[in-house]
Structure 1
């Protein structure tokens, strides 16, 4: 009797059960939802307490200043001519504001039937929620999940002027489109990356930072593959059309190719000056020490520069560094109102990562204490500028 060897079969392995859908959703969006809810409650509570002037409400404050321009565009569209003062002097108008956020407000108004003010606030909340979820996923891929959660708290509550993300402003939408672009590029989902970068270009002038970041990501991909790939090239080409398309439309509407720049400078005095006005502001303010808001803005600008420098020194993913650095340069190298600088820097993201990394390594008690104290200050600072400070933010 001969024994016939049976064929060798590898041991079977049973794949671990896939988590239920609610668990997967919470893992993906839970930290962002929790941070959003906590930051929203803290922002609104402090803002409500600090509103003391008669006739002012939470809705009024959350739609103040630039928010009113966005709501006017959503409700009535853009003007079709230059605007002049009663003395015949050229002034700014709503054409200075890019169209994507008003389009979102109009969509929310059409779907929900809310008032224009409420629709503007809701639109900002939707954009912020999308931004926080996407930022958490992006930073989790680039760093750790703990760093990502700390980044969300710093972003939505602790950094001064984080309140702007909850207002009817377009910063939350810029952050959402920027984070979505970077995440899609990191995953090599080039059609999505190109689309989101195109939308960023229609959101704010700083959308060019998103386009630059996508361009760097595309170059890295071409270099890695050592051949010309249609995906990255097409995505970058699409991204480059967003801002020029709106500028062209404004120029065609007013019959002047430089119309948008003319409106912007006439209304807000914004021009490229290589940081000369900022340098003068910092030297004057730090020398005299006059005024709580000027001094605090000067300190915050320096803190942003320090955080950005520390982030760039650490090896990381170049497109994120390009995005953050470009936002910082665009904000600080132009001659606009100094008290708007913290708001314009808020979506830069990059400068928060060194602090988030340090907090992720700290003990749990230390992390909670630091983030809690910083959030109280950040939310208070935004509420102060929105209630006691008489000028636009």
Structure 2
């Protein structure tokens, strides 16, 4: 019996509800995550004030956040036409996050931007808890704690405190994966369904649930209707929205992808990414572009290391789909690190390495990551001119 299982039994004998026991075990990780992101916010606020900018405005209304707030307030129907031929329709944005913003504004006397921040911050905390439980179940408490801390100290983790969808998707994905690992198939499928309504690359969650359910059925798991139900529920959110956009555009199976093409986003098996990297070598770009290439390359390398360690099937499938979409997709090269932000299993190899490192070395690496995360996050929202 693992240490986690023994702790769970002890908590059960003491009359502690399972959710309370899990939250208590996750408390150190959540505290470290909160400290990391709050420090990042303080650094951002100081830099923004020094440049005469509003930290709240940068967090709540920058780039895609403005689209989400507008959808929450007015529904779909906004399209921008640009001289270079780009056609940006708000149908490219999935509905779950704007729906949450609208719900908060109907209950609390806050603006859409503030509601978006409240949703994102709450979702980031929920995601941190789910990530911890996944790491704890598979590798133990130290790795679970470090997994959460590393996720909160990624160079682009400032996104976790913005009115963006990545915290929501990651929360739903982490808890869906935990449900798969604990054989809670209906929960896994239902959470994957909601994740599929949050972001385009959340199809990775459905793929993970379906792969794990298929494996369970192949092994002859008892009460086979539960894996079947989870597998059937998982893709409904993503497929439902894609089909809805397609019907609205007059092309049920191609309409959504035409909308994405209007944003210059398409899947070309990495040809566009490779061409852009070649241009980076020849033409000077803002710091964010070479950093995006570096971060994406490091995440791809971490995926290789992760797979070589023969990970759990649902985590492997989930990570593989996210990496494939990010690396194989063209358009908005600077946003690729953000697309990989939900790929928290890729941080398992460094988390394992830190548990085996000497304490002084582990602290030095953590401090260096924190400095990079806080400094780069402030740069992205106060100095960078490209979209995030």
Question: Same fold by TM (over 0.5)?
Answer: yes
With 255-264 and 118-127 compared, the bigger mean Cα shift is at 255-264
How many angstroms does 1:103 deviate by? 1.1
Alignment of 1:144-183 (within 5 A): 144-157=140-153, 159-183=154-178
**Cα distance change on mapping 1:73 and 1:298 into 2, 3 Å:** same
- After superposition, the Cα gap between the structure-2 partners of 1:116 and 1:290, relative to the gap in structure 1 and judged at 3 Å, is closer
- For 2:84 and 2:142, how far apart are their aligned partners in 1? 57
Whole-angstrom distance in 2 between the partners of 1:390 and 1:53: 17
Q: Secondary structure at the match of 2:38?
A: helix
Distance apart, 1:113 and its partner CA: 2.0
Q: Is the 8 A contact 1:105 1:116 kept in 2?
A: yes
Which residue of structure 2 aligns with residue 97 of structure 1?
Answer: 93
Partner of 1:263: 259
Shift of 1:234: 1.2
Aligned to 1:4: none
Contact 2:288 2:386 in 1 (8 A): no
- Note the C-alpha offset of 1:121: 0.3
| C-alpha deviation, 1:291, in angstroms | 5.1
Choose 1 or 2 for highest CA Rg.
1
Gaps of 5+ in 1: 1-14
The normalised TM-score by structure 2 is 0.90
Larger CA deviation: 145-154 vs 40-49: 40-49
Q: 2:69 maps to what in 1?
A: 71
- Match in the other structure for 2:346: 351
CA deviations on 1:214-251 (whole Å, 9 max, x unpaired) are 11111221122267811111111111211111122223
Number of aligned residues = 375
1: CA distance between counterparts of 2:278 and 2:84?
36
Match of 2:55 in 1: 58
Query: TM-score if structure 1 supplies the norm length?
Result: 0.89
**Residue among 122, 128, 133 paired with 1:126:** 122
The match for 2:205 is 210
Structure 1 contact 153–375 (Cα < 8 Å) conserved: no
State the distance in 2 between where 1:226 and 1:24 align. Answer: 28
Pairing 1:109–2:83 present: no
Q: 2:79 touches 2:89 (CA, 8 Å); kept in 1?
A: yes
Which residue in the other structure is 2:5 paired with?
none
Instruction: Give the one of 118, 140, 143 matched to 2:139.
Output: 143
Q: Which moved more, 1:331-340 or 1:26-35?
A: 26-35
- The two structures, once aligned, show a CA RMSD in angstroms of 2.4
- Give the whole-Å Cα distance in 1 for the aligned partners of 2:76 and 2:85: 20
After the TM superposition, which parts of structure 1 deviate over 4 Å for at least 4 consecutive aligned residues? 19-23, 52-55, 86-90, 286-291
1:30-41 matches, within 5 Å, as 30-41=27-38
Deviation by residue 1:119-168 (Cα, 9 ceiling, x = unmatched): 110000111111000110011001121111111111012x1111111110
Flag the 1:307–1:87 CA change in 2: closer, same or farther, 3 A: closer
Tell me if 1:366 matches 2:338: no
5+ long unaligned stretches in structure 2: 1-9
Aligned to 2:46: 49
Q: Distance in 2 between matches of 1:88 and 1:43?
A: 36
Q: Is 2:245–2:255's contact at 8 Å kept on the other side of the alignment?
A: yes
Structure 1 counterpart SS, 2:363: helix
SS in 2 for 1:347: coil
Which residue of 2 is the match for residue 224 of structure 1? Answer: 219
Judged with a 3 Å threshold, the aligned counterparts in structure 2 of structure 1 residues 224 and 25 are, in CA distance, closer, same or farther, namely closer
Does structure 2 conserve the Cα–Cα contact (< 8 Å) formed by 1:289 and 1:295?
Answer: no
- Does the CA-based 8 Å contact 2:135-2:144 persist in structure 1? yes
Q: Give the Cα separation in 2 of the matches to 1:209 and 1:88.
A: 32
